Copies of this chain bind each other. A is one copy, B any other.
Amino acid sequence: MKKLTKRNENYSKWYNEIILRANIAEKSDVRGCMIIKPYGFSIWEKIKSILDNILKYTGHENVYFPLLIPKSYFSKEYNHIKGFAKECAIISHYRLKNYKNKNIIVDKSSKLEDELIVRPTSETIIWNSYKRWINSYRDLPILFNQWANIIRWERRTRFFLRTSEFLWQEGHTAHSTKKEAINQAKKILNIYTNVLENFIAIPVIQGIKTYSEKFAGAEKTYCIESIMQDGKSLQIATSHFLGQNFSKAFDVRYSTEKGNKEYVWATSWGISTRLIGAIIMTHSDDNGLILPPKIAPIQIVIIPVYKTQEQLNLIEKLVFPLKKFLEKRGINIKYDKRIYYTPGWKFNEYEIKGIPLRITIGKKDIDRGTVEVVRRDTLEKKYISINKLKFLIPKILSQIQDNIFKVALKRKNNFLIEVDSYEEFIEKIKKNSGFLFAHWDGSSETEKKIKVETNATIRCIPINLKKNIGKCIFSKNLSKQRVLFAKSY
């Protein structure tokens, strides 16, 4: 079987090959839209279920708003429409004709009076409803979330990282005070961080976007960023404090306890199928995908090595009770006894798919009383006594989870560098050496110039970094704290 392209040969080719070879996704004929195949989709389902449970536990409720949004809604918040105008898919007709001769054309007589936009995000249609639902302080807070598909007509697309259609959750909350809304935006950032670090094993940096990088319509955009193996930064999720921008645009006011009318405060926040790209780019190696056990749809694969039905019977006498025992403890196991494929072919297949643990059992193993266990993260091979197997496996899975995070954390820390001169900055950026902490004067002008000259952008102003005053690497003007520069996806 053909080997994958190596990361240091061609990182983006490697990335695409993993996606195709591990059966995660495939391109479709529709520009920038991909097909998410069962294996890829089951990873998304795992992540979705983890986050959905946490959101529900913290009081959020799921809703569903229409896919199609009247064009006029977008005009109401200027920065919002400005940000999305160039990537809106627009529906103008609702009927086809001439289908008899296979040369289908749009029936012009079916033109919609009011053209509709396929949602690129749902703030406008949701705030148009909040106007009806919010009257009094008793109606607040509203903590709604929806899992939905989104269309943004992107110029350059890339599997998961940037696609014309993607899946995400978008939360939209309404609050009576500014403080409560800001706390909500931060709380969500912490929920995302928890999911990323403790389940998906991706260490992140929490920060705030600069004025020019913030969401169209937000007052403040909180974000989590992570560094990929090639030293580029990937924005993983954002949580926006929207101030009163949308409540003013849609005239959503509430009566306070004292009877005054006040505009409502808002947040919105989202995380998308881009996460799957982040998982591949963070954890995988030259042999294929590596999945942290907590999000792996299949955590263990068991492969019997046999030549006769008799041997298979012997093996299965061992495998079936083990499988049952572990499944009762919530471990997902695939037992692959297919005869079309050789064990070697299967080893390769599950290595590319990133299954955390592989157990091989043959007649000889049974005679010896041990089985071969291979960890995907370290590729380490061990022979484990059959008696100990069922108690050791949960421990090994937990070790794999920890180790995958540790490796990613170490890499992240190695990529974090403080730079104090623009020369050093340029040199490092050229080599994609990761996250550069550098002083910046706070102006959009400097930010833009650095971007033009180096292709690096300010990924965020880190939240948890000790503030210290210095001089901007570019303008030499006063800087209040270091910010995080990197090239990004």
A residues adjacent to B (C-beta < 8 A): 26, 28-30, 33-38, 41-42, 44-45, 61-72, 74-76, 78, 81-82, 85-97, 99-100, 102-104, 106, 115-118, 125, 128-129, 132, 138, 144, 148-149, 151, 153, 164-165, 167, 340
Contact = CB atoms under 8 A, between A and B. Distances in A.
A41 B144 CA distance: 11
B75 A99 contact: yes
A35 B103 contact: no
Contact of A36 (B63, B102, B340): B63
A129 B30 contact: no
A150 to B, nearest CB: 9
| This protein's copies in its complex | 2
Given A30-B68, A102-B75, A129 B35 contact: yes
A82 B99 contact: yes
Given A85-B99, A90-B96, 16 more contacts: A26-B132, A29-B70, A29-B128, A30-B125, A35-B65, A35-B66, A36-B64, A38-B61, A38-B144, A71-B96, A74-B104, A81-B104, A82-B99, A86-B96, A87-B94, A106-B115
A194 to B, nearest CB: 23
Nearest to A86: B95
> A-side binding surface: helix, strand, loop or mixed?
mixed
B99 A66 contact: no
Given A38-B61, A68-B30, A99-B75, A106 B92 contact: yes
B104 A96 contact: no
A26 B189 CA distance: 31
Contacts of A86: 95-96
Contacts of A42: 61-62
A255 B59 CA distance: 54
B66 A116 contact: no
Given A87-B95, A88-B95, A104 B61 contact: no
13 contacts: A26-B129, A28-B65, A35-B66, A41-B63, A68-B89, A68-B165, A75-B102, A76-B102, A78-B99, A85-B99, A88-B95, A95-B153, A96-B117
Interface centre among A64, A81, A82 (most CB of B within 10 A): A64
Nearest to A92: B92
A38 B173 CA distance: 13
Nearest to A60: B38
A30 B70 CA distance: 7
Contacts of A99: 74-75, 78, 81-82, 85
